[in-house]
Amino acid sequence: MSAAPRPAVDFASIKRAALAVLPALLERWLPGGRRKGPEYVALNPRRHDRHIGSFSINVRTGRWSDFATNARGGDVVSLAAYLAHLNQAQAAEKLAGMLGISMKASHGR
């Protein structure tokens, strides 16, 4: 007997909801960072980072990059995955729980 397939993750809804509160998420995930125009710059907790500046997240789009290591991603879900050492689905599930939104994709829209 095989397990039932997991429901599809509604990545688009989770990304939209997370982007709407991204500054608050960044302050929680990366305390001590600061706004620099449309970017939030902080120390990268995944490496021994001593100077703010090379780890940057665009608060409008969620795109992020660590210019010191060339790590980068295109949205808040990939950032959450990177910071928490999770895969994309796990990160989306964690974000959905934090934001109080349904993780399942709705069909028939």
Structure tokens at 100: 């109080």
pLDDT (0 to 100) of residue 109: 43
Q: What's the farthest any 2 CA atoms get from each other in the chain?
A: 55
pLDDT (0 to 100) of residue 9: 82
φ, ψ for residue 92, nearest 5 deg: -65, -40
Q: Where are the alpha helices (DSSP H) in the chain?
A: 11-20, 22-29, 76-84, 88-99
Interatomic CA distance for residues 73 and 64, integer angstroms: 5
Interatomic CA distance for residues 57 and 39, integer angstroms: 5
Q: Is the CATH code 3.90.580.10 the one for domain 15-99?
A: yes
pTM (2 d.p.):
0.85
Q: What is the pLDDT of residues 85-98, one digit of tens each?
A: 999 999 999 999 99
Low-confidence ranges of the chain (pLDDT < 50): 107-109
